[in-house]
Structure 1
Amino acid sequence: MARGPHTEMRTPAGAHVAVVVKGYPRLSETFIAQELLELERRGLALAIWSLRRPTDKAVHPMHRQITAPVTYLPEYLHRAPLRVLRGTAWSVRRPGFGTLLRTFLADLRRDFTVNRVRRLGQAFVFARELPATAQHVHVHYLHTPASVVRYAALLRGFGWSFSAHAKDIWTTPDWEKREKIAASTFGVTCTAAGHRVLAALAPQPERVALAYHGLDLTRFPAPPEARPPRTGAEPADPVRIVSVGRAVAKKGFGDLLRALAALPPDLHWQFAHVGGGEMLGELKAQAAELAIAGRTAFLGARPQPDVVALLREADIFVLPAKRARSGDQDGLPNVVMEAASQALAIVATAFAGIPEFVRDGEDGVLVPPEDWEALANAVNLLAREPERREALGRSAFARLEGRFGMAEGIDLIESRLRTALGSPAAAAPAARRAHGAAP
């Protein structure tokens, strides 16, 4: 029987992989849920360890199907003092504590933050509580979650691997990425652009592999047979434009609102955004300032079935991703592939991993990042051409079905996890991994 994802349970009795994530469950991380569910279906026993408790009010159906038990590490150390003290007291008696302390102090000199200290405390708790049946640890994200895992591994001597995605690649210093890759048994990442960066920092390029998330099309309905041939000429039947993503700078939603405001007055349209995020209030205020609030709807975070229903009713999907001032940027956003799963015409930026999937003029329309005028022009032209929208959407669906299915990426991850579970490298001393020994 499926259980709710918020329940903490005992870890599996037998050998298993411990999967460490920043937060669980998260509506914005369907790619992680998809991977966990498929690995379970293939017979891998998993246990989830999360650095944060959930903040989303809803969950995806996939989360309810995942049977792995979930343990939450203390997000704020002062809120779980006894747990942290027990972990600390246990850790200082471990043979690897001296190596850990030297590693941590070297990191702290280069990154003197409270966050760094928090990761050490979480590592003490994780190292103490991780059962011996966890024969390998796999962590999602190479920044803070991997810090916890790396520190704990120095205490316990377990083998660990990572999946790197987007922010963790582009905002983590090279020195830190290099040292974590060297300490890991293997890593995967989900775009060719990210792979080039990480492979160049690895002791051996093959230490890091490219594994696209892809999409499990069995979880999605077939695309609509046909969409209404809207052209935006009728006020009562406006062109429906949709975007999905957290309201953060790298998604470029501010550029999208400026583009929508610049559309010609004879084009009738409505826009819906799905996603939470820190900039949601700012975007609503911007829409009001641009005098388009009456044609825009900010729906907040929604579970995947609601998102798919919206995609099926839409005419155009838009995602103007860009690099944020912090250096953060997307990889290949899953929502682009989800739009393709419904044969929806895509307008996006030629940025990050998006062109690896969307070929300009074949599977969608690509414009330069941060160019709201070009974005407005692309949306305006496509809004008036229902036949072109249909052709682009069908091409995107065919590309998704033929080249970006889920199986290939999961095959690679499963193979490497099974090798790590059964290989001597998975139980090798931490010192050997810290010096970059090949898996």
Structure 2
Amino acid sequence: MTRRVAVTGLGVVDPFEGLGSAAESGEAAEAAGKSSTLRFFNRVAAGESAVRLYTTEDIPRAISVPAVRCAGFSAEARMGRALAGMMERFAQLGFASARDAWADAGLDLPDCSPDPAAAGVAWGTALGGLMAFERGYRDFWQHGRERVSPMSVVLGMNNAAAAHISIQLGLGNSSLTYSVACASAASAIGEAFRQIRDGRAEVMVAGGSDATLAYAVVRAWEALKVLAPGDEASAPGACRPFHPDRAGLVLGEGAAALVLEDWDHAVRRGATIYAELAGYGSNADHSHLVRPSEAGQVLALQAAMSDAELQPADVGYINAHGTATREGDPIEVAALRSVFGQHAEALPVSATKAAHGHMMGATGAVEALLTVLALHTDVLPPTAHLDTVDPACEGVRHIRGQALCGTGARAALSNSFAFGGSNAVLAFKAVQRR
């Protein structure tokens, strides 16, 4: 029997934490007693940006680019020195978000802990523990050392985040890691959804994490000429999806996790259900390594909607992939117009990367979390800085300036379209309002 899948827990490492803003004092008072995920959502919904100028003094050349950092995150404060020392930054970020989601779902309570054999983890990362290996290369070639840390292998392995989540939370079902560039986290969530729907698990912790600001990574993206430029003053507005003046993506680091649960299991224990994960579409463009394909995106969108038994008129919000690249944004809008036809002009669409940057393998989880909260709160966040829409990106209802409130959206899609041609679309349905 096919089972319904509930979203019962949310966790995020908040890039706004410790980041000053004009609205911070009022926002902190308004959000007193609310979860960190909701505070994060409120700031994205307010059109704020976590992008700042990131500068290093690295040899042979310093880096100075707009980026998003989780500057307020302290792994030692969150998990203790011993455990933090066993993890590279991407795993620290991932474990912190997963543990928060687990607690948010109430599964850390003795009477609610699931059978370990029925609970698993599915995690996404594009880069994994790359920083551990970068330090090793520096030790060899820059510092002239003859050996690297014996911890390098376990710090650098891509499945480190999933392994720590599994061990620390006692998840004895599958422990899976997905690495498909910036579709990694969305793919992990979608495959976890299938695990539960098909009866192979009752509970899955699913999400993604990446620490993208390794020196070599930033320089590689810089060489590809797709990073948005900016200085200290302009950096917060550097990521401008769908804007005529968009100039490229902004790298970020972060993590987000969703607890997915068999619907009946969640109802029996009285869990809060944020939304229903009702569909998942995944495919490959099989056409080009880096150029997005409208046809591939159309198929992924249609597959997710079919899986969720949704018609175009049922969808009330799209969290777009929207990376702010010259080529990618118009192709995604064209795919939406193709799928939604006459409904496209009224379809609310936003790209929240303008606020939180592109976290690579983590982004799909962060955007899925924001999509869930958009349905749960009935507040659809805007694309920050979108005062003018590029004519090539017209044809949908771009959410500009202010969030849309009280639309009563019944369903929403979260898009992740990656280098390598991997496309993943998640379809959520609203179940109860805040």
Same fold flag (TM > 0.5): no
TM-score range normalised by the length of the shorter chain: under 0.3
Q: Which has the larger radius of gyration?
A: 1
User: Normalising by structure 2, what TM-score?
Assistant: 0.27
User: Normalising by structure 1, what TM-score?
Assistant: 0.27
* Bigger share in helix: 1
